[in-house]
Structures are given as structure tokens and as C-alpha cells.
């Protein structure tokens, strides 16, 4: 009896009631399903890339490129040769034209970066992820990269994985926060599967989407989905690896080598800034081109093809050339050609991305980083410097440092480093190099758009600034003045209403004045092409974030920090289809300035200009944007800007 009592007391010290078996059962099933689907996507990607690359590059152009799996046994007698180089710009231009026509006829979002779209959906809840768009995006990416356009397939594949995950989430009736977790798991499992880095892919998706706000409950679904994807694709594809890294090529870390890795990481950080700036410059340049949308991918393909005549190494993913650089095979890939190839790869990747050729930026970032490291250490060795560092280790460290400099994901870079090396041999120099590169490149240097910017930081600062905010409810602040429209309203009419009322959002109701969704000015401004009679139904948000009158005002801050949506409908506590008001930053600003120690003094006197032109291809809408008063149109943006300036 005494033993039984002691055992009960011992077991009681561990609170097993806190183990959420419902959570585990649910996410085990959903995580495995997402992982299986992502694994099938990875298999499809491998086979599609092999087929397209074999046809366009090997059979038509007669360019025999090195593949990662063959590089280890590649003879020094191999020489780069292209039988029909003049066909390269022709093929890339024609493929670009096909992608442009598909974008114009089927989906205007086709050419947008897949990871950027995931981030937008994750933070802003646009409900725009569709299997049709994702399938077209992925197929176009296979076609473009397989024919030789510089880029990676990871971004578009991640988009499709996230789309499938969101569909699974809706099938299982998950709430909005859980669907966000599923989206992150879908993104991580496809990236982890295609790069053969399951843990790195999972951590990358969480770090990129959540930034500093890691959600612990998302780790299990993301890891499970990514591992499942890795296993499913590995069994079918015979366990390929991203890079073949012989352990005997890696030397032990010493104090001397740590200092040398730090120097290389500092250079990588500086080059990372140039890489991101180059991508952004070409993006702006192509956006401002006064040519038809469908012609931009064709123009980008022709430009890349012309430069590829002299530098065929920039064609496609470039993983084979990265493998050569990692093994230090300078007979096939000499130093004198590596530096020009690096510059051309950055140029070609930037043009491809900016011209909306559906190619990604993640894969090229790994390739460019590795090539830079291999070229630098080879150059140092030629001058008798850093001889105690081997080429393979320098290449790997540079991959991780450049990955951090361009994506702002240092934690995932370290995890990727351990997975890619296959041991902890380079853990210390990896951590140090990632930190140095991360600091030097700067906090705003990333190739992907940050759709939440610093809003969360700003709102947290506001909440800390005055504890009196916690005493207010939504009903104390909300403004009952709002305008509702029917879902069949023409978009041109919706824009006119917004202009006349000087508002940034409209409530969408049915014929019985029952709430159906919201239309935001940002969505209208971001649509590239719209038919003359297009209705708001095509761009409305069906399930927007909502509040109720008795909710604390702090809940508004939480919603804005998570979604970046600043105008929230207030729904009746008794009827969730009855809209009572719209709560906006203007209303909150009035409250803030009425508090004894105002947080935003003289806000009404602050000046600013409307930064973003409406890019809608309808003459009537363009005229509306030109006639609008820029100082009144984007008042919410000025408030956010004022918050940033004041709290800096």
C-alpha cells in the first residue's frame, strides 16, 4: 500500500492533464497529409525539371551541363561546350512569351514570387490562394527553369504546398490561426523536400513568416510535414542530396580558421546588400516599363539568353556548378571564370525575377553564396592567405552566411548548415559567420517582402507607453459612420465611393443587407488588369478579421499586428451578420491624442505624400487616382509613418 501511495504521489508530480492529446491527434493527421502531398510535389518537380532540361538544353541547344549527382565523378577532361548558342535567347524569349500569355489570359498573379504571395496571404489574409493559380505558377516555373531561365523552383513549389495545406485546413474546419500554421507547414515541407533539408525547410518557413514571433505550437506540424515530405520523396527518388559533401574534405576548426571565416562572412554580408539592391532595382525598372504585361517575361528571357551565350553557367538552377565549386574542381570551373559567372548569375536572377518569369530567389541565393565563398578562398590561396581553410568548408560557410544576408533568417541558416554538412564540424564557424553576415547586411536587407513591416513593434510600443489604453473597449472608440455596397458593385464605382467618402474600406452586404465581407483600397490598387465590368466580388475578403463592441481595445492592436489590416468591422454581439461600425487607425488616433500624455502630438499637422500609384488598367480608375488629393487619400499610412518616426 505504501509503495502504491508513493507511486501515485510521484506520478502526480507530473501534470499529465496538460498533455493536449486533441492537438497531437489533429496535427499528426493533418501534418502527415500535408507532408505526403508535399512529397508528391517534390517528386513531380524533380521529374519535370529533368524532362524539360533534357529537352531544351540537352537536345535542342546541345548544352551538356554538370548535374550535382554526377559532379563527384566528373572527369577533368570535361569541357563546357554549347553547339547551338544562338538558340538560347530564342528559346528563353518564346518560353517567356508563353508565360506572359498565360499570365494575361488565366492569372495576373502568375508572375509574382511564390513566397511573397504566401507571406501576403499569411499576414494579410487575402484568401487568394487557389489551386489553379498555384498549379499554373508551378508549371510555368518548371518550364522557365527547365528551358534555362536563371532561378529556382523552390518559391513556386512552396506556394503550391501552402495552397494545398490551406485547402486541407478548410476541409478539417480549422480556424484562421490554425490555417496559418498549416500554410507554414506546407511551405516548409515543400522547401525541405526539394532541398533535402527537412529541419532547415521547416524552420525557414516559420522564421520567415513569423519573424521574431515564433509560435511554439506550429513547430510540431511543420517538422512532421517536412519530415514526411522528405521520406516520401526520398523513397521514390532514391534519396538524392542537395550537395555531395565528403567529410574528408572538411578540416577541423581552429582559432585561425574562425578569424578567417569571419573575414569571409563580412565580405559576404556586403555582397548580400548588393544582391538585394540589384533585385530591387530591376523589380522597379520592369514595373515602370510601359510595355504590355505579357511581353515582360519574353523580354527578360531574351536578355538572359543573350548573356548566356557567353556565360552558359548562368542557365537554370546552377546547382551543378555549385557542386563543382564546393569540391574545388578548378580544372573544370577555373577561378578566372568564377567571378564573372557570379556577377552574371546575380544579374540574370534579378532580371528573371523582375520580368515575372515565375522563377524563385531562394535557390539562386544558395548558389551565389557558395560560388562567392569558393572564389574568395581560391583567390586567397593564390596569394598564400588562409591556407588552413579548405575550399569545401569556405563554400559551405559562405552559403549559410549569404542565405542569412539575403533572407534575414539566421536561425534557419544555422539549422541548414548542420543538416547540409551532416555533422557539427562547422557549427562554431557557421554560427559566427551567420551572426557577422546578419549584422553587416542590416535588418532591412531581404529579398522577400515583409508585409507586416514594423507594425507589431510599433503597437507593442504603444501599449507599453500608456497603460490607460487597457481600460478602453471597442465601443468607446468605434465610429458608426461606414458605407456598405453590394457584391455586384462595379469596381470602378467602388473606387469612386472610396474617393468621395475618403475611406479605405467598404462593407460588402447581400441584397438583405447582411454582412458578407470587406473590400480594401489596397486590393483595388494592386490588381494589374481588370475588365471593364468586373465586380468587387472578385477581390473582396470573405472572412475578414472582426471585433465586437465589448472587446478590449487591445484586441484591435493584436489584429493589426498579425494581419496588417487597419480597418476592422465591428459586429453585433447578438448577430454576426450585422455590422455596427468600422474601427480604424483614425479612431484610435483620436483616443491616443485625448490621453493626458499624448503619444502622437500634432499628428494632423504632419505631412506626407501618397507613395503608391494605383496600377489598374482602366482609364476611368487611372483618372480617379490622378485626381485624388494625395494628402488625404492615404491618411492611415501617414499615421503608421508617424508612429514609426515618433517611436524610433
> Model confidence over 158-213: pLDDT tens digits?
999 999 999 999 899 888 788 889 999 999 999 999 999 999 999 999 999 887 66
Best mean pLDDT range from 15-19, 547-551, 561-565, 613-617: 547-551
Model pLDDT, residue 314: 94
Mean pLDDT of 497-514: 79
Q: Which three cell numbers stand for residue 626?
A: 490622378
Q: Which three cell numbers stand for residue 392?
A: 569545401
79 vs 324: CA distance, rounded Å: 13
Q: Considering the domain boundaries, does residue 195 fall inside one?
A: yes
Angle between helices 427-441 and 391-407 (to 10 degrees): 40
Q: Which position has the higher pLDDT, 552 or 42? A: 42
Q: What CATH number is attached to the domain comprising 525?
A: 3.10.580.10
Q: Considering the domain boundaries, does residue 306 fall inside one?
A: yes
Domain count, the chain: 3
Sign (positive or negative) of CA dihedral 599, 604, 609, 611 = positive
Q: Considering the domain boundaries, does residue 320 fall inside one?
A: yes
Model pLDDT, residue 173: 87
560 vs 590: CA distance, rounded Å: 17
Model pLDDT, residue 644: 41
379 vs 32: CA distance, rounded Å: 47
Strands 579-583 and 568-571: antiparallel
Q: What are the φ and ψ backbone dihedral angles of 84, each rounded to 5 degrees?
A: -125, 70
| Whether residue 145 is found in the same domain as residue 266 | no
Q: Considering the domain boundaries, does residue 102 fall inside one?
A: yes
| Whether residue 380 is found in the same domain as residue 526 | no
| Whether residue 482 is found in the same domain as residue 518 | yes
Query: Where a domain ends, among 219, 237, 255?
Result: 237
What pLDDT, in 10s, does the model give residues 313-343? 999 999 989 998 998 888 888 899 999 999 9
| Whether residue 408 is found in the same domain as residue 277 | yes
Q: Considering the domain boundaries, does residue 6 fall inside one?
A: no
Q: Which three cell numbers stand for residue 303?
A: 536578355
Model pLDDT, residue 577: 81
Please, which pLDDT band fits residue 7 given cuts at 50, 70 and 90? low
Model pLDDT, residue 105: 76
| Mean per-residue pLDDT over the chain, rounded | 81
Contact 51, 44 (CB under 8 A): no
As a whole-number percent, the residues of the chain with pLDDT over 90 amount to 43
| Whether residue 300 is found in the same domain as residue 411 | yes
Model pLDDT, residue 241: 84
Model pLDDT, residue 249: 80
Q: Which position has the higher pLDDT, 177 or 592? A: 177
| Whether residue 402 is found in the same domain as residue 520 | no
As a whole-number percent, the residues of the chain with pLDDT over 70 amount to 78
Contact 191, 201 (CB under 8 A): yes
| Whether residue 383 is found in the same domain as residue 520 | no
Please, which pLDDT band fits residue 431 given cuts at 50, 70 and 90? very high
| Whether residue 272 is found in the same domain as residue 342 | yes
576 vs 573: CA distance, rounded Å: 7
Q: Considering the domain boundaries, does residue 307 fall inside one?
A: yes
| Whether residue 253 is found in the same domain as residue 190 | no
Q: Considering the domain boundaries, does residue 13 fall inside one?
A: no
Who contacts 409 (Cβ-Cβ below 8 Å, separation ≥6)? 203, 204, 207, 208, 403
Q: What CATH number is attached to the domain comprising 348?
A: 1.10.3080.10
| Whether residue 404 is found in the same domain as residue 493 | no
| Statement: residue 108 has pLDDT above 50 | yes
| Whether residue 261 is found in the same domain as residue 194 | no
Sign (positive or negative) of CA dihedral 554, 557, 561, 562 = positive
Query: Where a domain ends, among 408, 441, 474?
Result: 441
Sign (positive or negative) of CA dihedral 277, 279, 284, 289 = positive
Model pLDDT, residue 370: 95
Q: Specify the range with the lowest mean pLDDT, choosing from 18-22, 119-123, 171-175, 228-232.
A: 18-22
Structural Rg of the chain based on CA atoms: 27
Contact 478, 571 (CB under 8 A): no
Who contacts 586 (Cβ-Cβ below 8 Å, separation ≥6)? 479, 635, 636, 639
- DSSP H helical segments within 466-526, as ranges? 491-501, 521-525
Strands 484-486 and 505-509: parallel
For cell 489584429, name the residue: 559
Query: Where a domain ends, among 377, 406, 441?
Result: 441
| Whether residue 232 is found in the same domain as residue 252 | no
158 vs 194: CA distance, rounded Å: 9
State the CB neighbour count (10 A cutoff) for residue 445. Answer: 21
502 vs 496: CA distance, rounded Å: 10
∠163-536-618 over CA atoms, to 5°?
105
Please, which pLDDT band fits residue 2 given cuts at 50, 70 and 90? low
Q: Considering the domain boundaries, does residue 283 fall inside one?
A: yes
Domain of 560 in residue numbering reads as 455-647
Model pLDDT, residue 477: 78
| Statement: residue 636 has pLDDT above 60 | no
Amino acid at each position: 500500500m505504501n509503495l502504491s501511495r508513493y507511486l501515485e504521489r510521484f506520478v502526480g508530480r507530473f501534470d499529465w492533464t496538460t498533455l493536449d492529446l486533441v492537438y497531437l491527434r489533429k496535427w499528426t493527421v493533418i501534418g502527415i497529409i500535408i507532408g505526403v502531398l508535399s512529397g508528391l510535389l517534390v517528386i513531380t518537380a524533380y521529374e519535370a525539371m529533368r524532362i524539360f532540361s533534357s529537352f531544351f538544353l540537352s537536345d535542342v541547344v546541345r548544352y551538356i551541363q554538370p548535374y550535382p549527382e554526377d559532379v563527384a565523378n566528373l572527369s577533368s577532361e570535361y569541357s563546357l561546350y554549347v553547339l547551338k548558342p544562338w538558340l538560347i535567347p530564342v528559346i528563353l524569349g518564346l518560353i517567356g512569351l508563353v508565360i506572359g500569355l498565360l499570365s494575361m489570359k488565366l492569372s495576373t498573379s502568375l508572375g509574382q514570387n511564390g513566397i511573397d504571395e504566401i507571406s501576403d496571404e499569411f499576414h494579410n489574409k487575402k484568401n487568394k490562394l487557389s489551386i489553379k493559380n498555384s498549379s499554373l505558377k508551378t508549371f510555368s516555373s518548371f518550364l522557365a527553369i527547365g528551358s534555362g531561365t536563371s532561378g529556382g523552383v523552390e518559391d513556386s513549389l512552396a506556394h503550391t504546398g501552402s495552397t494545398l495545406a490551406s485547402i486541407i485546413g478548410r476541409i478539417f474546419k480549422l480556424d484562421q490561426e490554425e490555417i496559418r500554421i498549416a500554410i507554414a507547414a506546407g511551405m516548409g515541407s515543400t522547401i525541405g523536400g526539394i532541398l533535402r533539408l527537412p529541419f532547415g525547410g521547416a524552420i525557414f518557413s516559420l522564421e520567415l513568416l513569423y519573424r521574431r514571433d515564433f509560435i511554439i505550437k506550429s513547430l510540431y506540424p511543420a517538422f512532421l510535414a517536412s519530415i514526411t515530405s522528405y521520406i516520401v520523396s526520398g523513397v521514390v527518388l532514391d534519396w538524392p542530396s542537395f550537395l555531395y559533401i565528403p567529410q574528408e574534405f572538411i578540416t577541423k576548426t581552429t582559432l585561425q580558421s574562425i578569424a578567417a571565416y569571419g573575414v569571409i562572412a563580412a565580405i559576404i554580408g556586403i555582397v548580400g546588400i548588393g544582391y538585394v539592391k540589384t533585385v530591387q532595382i530591376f523589380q522597379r525598372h520592369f514595373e515602370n516599363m510601359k510595355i504590355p504585361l505579357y511581353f515582360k517575361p519574353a523580354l527578360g528571357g531574351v536578355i538572359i539568353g543573350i548573356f548566356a551565350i557567353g556565360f552558359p553557367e548562368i542557365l537554370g538552377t546552377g546547382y551543378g556548378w555549385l557542386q563543382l565549386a564546393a569540391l574545388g574542381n578548378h580544372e573544370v570551373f577555373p577561378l578566372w571564370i568564377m567571378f564573372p559567372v557570379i556577377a552574371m548569375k546575380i544579374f540574370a536572377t534579378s532580371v528573371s525575377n523582375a520580368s515575372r518569369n515565375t522563377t524563385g530567389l531562394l535557390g539562386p541565393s544558395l548558389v551565389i553564396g557558395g560560388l562567392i565563398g569558393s572564389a574568395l578562398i581560391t583567390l586567397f590561396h593564390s596569394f598564400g592567405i588562409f591556407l588552413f581553410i579548405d575550399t569545401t568548408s569556405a563554400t559551405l560557410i559562405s552559403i549559410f552566411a549569404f542565405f542569412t544576408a539575403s533572407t534575414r533568417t539566421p536561425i534557419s541558416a544555422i539549422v541548414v548548415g548542420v543538416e547540409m554538412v551532416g555533422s557539427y564540424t562547422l557549427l562554431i564557424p557557421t554560427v559566427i559567420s551567420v551572426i557577422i553576415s546578419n549584422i553587416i547586411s542590416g535588418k532591412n536587407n531581404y529579398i522577400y517582402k515583409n508585409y507586416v513591416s514594423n507594425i507589431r513593434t510599433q503597437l507593442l510600443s504603444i501599449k507599453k507607453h500608456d497603460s490607460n489604453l487597457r481600460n478602453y473597449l471597442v465601443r468607446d472608440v468605434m465610429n458608426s459612420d461606414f458605407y456598405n455596397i453590394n457584391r455586384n458593385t462595379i469596381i470602378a464605382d467602388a473606387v469612386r465611393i472610396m474617393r468621395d467618402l475618403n475611406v479605405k474600406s467598404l462593407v460588402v452586404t447581400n441584397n438583405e443587407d447582411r454582412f458578407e465581407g470587406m473590400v480594401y483600397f489596397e486590393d483595388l490598387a494592386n490588381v494589374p488588369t481588370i475588365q471593364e465590368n468586373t465586380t468587387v466580388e472578385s477581390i473582396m475578403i470573405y472572412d475578414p478579421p472582426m471585433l465586437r463592441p465589448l472587446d478590449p481595445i487591445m484586441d484591435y492592436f493584436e489584429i493589426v499586428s498579425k494581419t496588417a489590416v487597419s480597418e476592422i468591422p465591428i459586429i453585433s454581439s447578438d448577430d454576426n451578420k450585422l455590422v455596427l461600425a468600422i474601427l480604424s487607425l483614425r479612431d484610435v488616433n483620436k483616443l491616443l491624442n485625448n490621453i493626458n500624455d499624448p503619444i502622437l502630438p500634432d499628428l494632423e499637422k504632419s505631412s506626407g505624400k501618397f507613395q503608391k500609384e494605383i496600377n489598374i488598367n482602366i482609364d476611368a480608375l487611372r483618372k480617379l487616382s490622378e485626381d485624388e488629393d494625395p494628402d488625404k487619400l492615404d491618411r492611415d499610412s501617414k499615421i503608421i509613418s508617424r508612429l514609426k518616426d515618433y517611436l524610433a
